């Protein structure tokens, strides 16, 4: 009697376990298609990420301006709206009016997120807040967002609030210097 281990039925793999030559891996066209889809997904994610950062920076600037304006008005409330005619940075730094996102350095200098300066200056019955090195997209979005400001000056152009997107786009430049005048 023959042993069962050498029986012809046991020598070969069953049909469902066999690999056919035509089905071994992905073809070159399939691989290129997979890489193309992956590239589109990556490019889309990067585009959305850039847009999200731009929105976040616009919101951050609006919050910083609001904090500076509110803190300055509160600090000078007892002065019958007399802000003087000099830089208010020293007093605002000492009173911790500037948000933590605006680091204070030497000589009462305050830096913004784009490597520029933030300067608050008294102007009699009102005061101004100046930001330098503001990117164009942030400039446009911040100016059109509104706020409790009398006007904004970009370069030599003074613009009264509310500011339309057309006016903001025409006046904003890259690395802009924007000066807001408080109500």
Q: Are 123 and 84 in contact (CB under 8 A)?
A: no
Q: What is the dihedral of CA 161, 163, 167, 171, to 10 degrees?
A: 70
The model's pTM is: 0.71
Give me the DSSP letters along 62-75.
HHHHHHHHHHHHHH
H and E: helices and strands count for the chain: 5, 6
Q: What's residue 97's pLDDT?
A: 96
Give the position of tokens 């039925």: 9
Q: How far apart are CA 10 and CA 4, in angstroms?
A: 8
Report the b/e string of 45-55 with b at 16+ CB within 10 A: eeeeeeeeeee
| Predicted confidence (pLDDT) per residue in 75-101, tens digit | 999 887 789 999 999 999 999 999 999
Q: What's residue 172's pLDDT?
A: 96
Q: What's residue 19's pLDDT?
A: 58
Q: What's residue 42's pLDDT?
A: 86
Q: What's residue 15's pLDDT?
A: 59
Q: How far apart are CA 168 and CA 173, in angstroms?
A: 9
Give me Rg for the CA atoms of the chain: 32
CATH, range 26-182 = 3.30.1690.10
- Where the chain has pLDDT below 70, the residues are 1-25, 49-55
Q: What's residue 58's pLDDT?
A: 73
The three-state secondary structure class of 14 is: coil
Write the CB contacts of 160 (distance below 8 Å, at least 6 apart in sequence): 150, 151
Q: What's residue 154's pLDDT?
A: 95
Q: What's residue 13's pLDDT?
A: 62
């Amino acid at each position: 009697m023959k042993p069962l281990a050498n029986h012809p039925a046991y020598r070969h793999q069953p049909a469902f376990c066999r690999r056919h030559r035509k089905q071994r891996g992905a073809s070159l066209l399939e691989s290129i298609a997979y890489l193309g889809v992956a590239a589109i997904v990556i490019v889309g994610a990067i585009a959305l990420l850039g847009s999200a950062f731009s929105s976040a920076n616009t919101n951050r600037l609006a919050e910083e301006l609001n904090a500076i304006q509110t803190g300055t008005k509160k600090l000078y409330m007892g002065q019958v709206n007399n802000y003087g005619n000099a830089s208010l940075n020293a007093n605002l730094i000492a009173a911790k009016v500037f948000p933590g996102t605006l680091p204070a350095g030497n000589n009462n200098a305050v830096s913004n997120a784009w490597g520029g300066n933030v300067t608050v200056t008294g102007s009699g019955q009102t005061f101004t807040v100046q930001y330098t090195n503001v990117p164009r997209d942030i400039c446009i979005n911040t100016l059109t967002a509104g706020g409790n400001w009398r006007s904004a000056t970009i370069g030599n152009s003074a613009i009264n609030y509310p500011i339309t997107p057309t006016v903001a786009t025409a006046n904003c430049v890259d690395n802009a210097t924007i000066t807001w005048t408080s109500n």
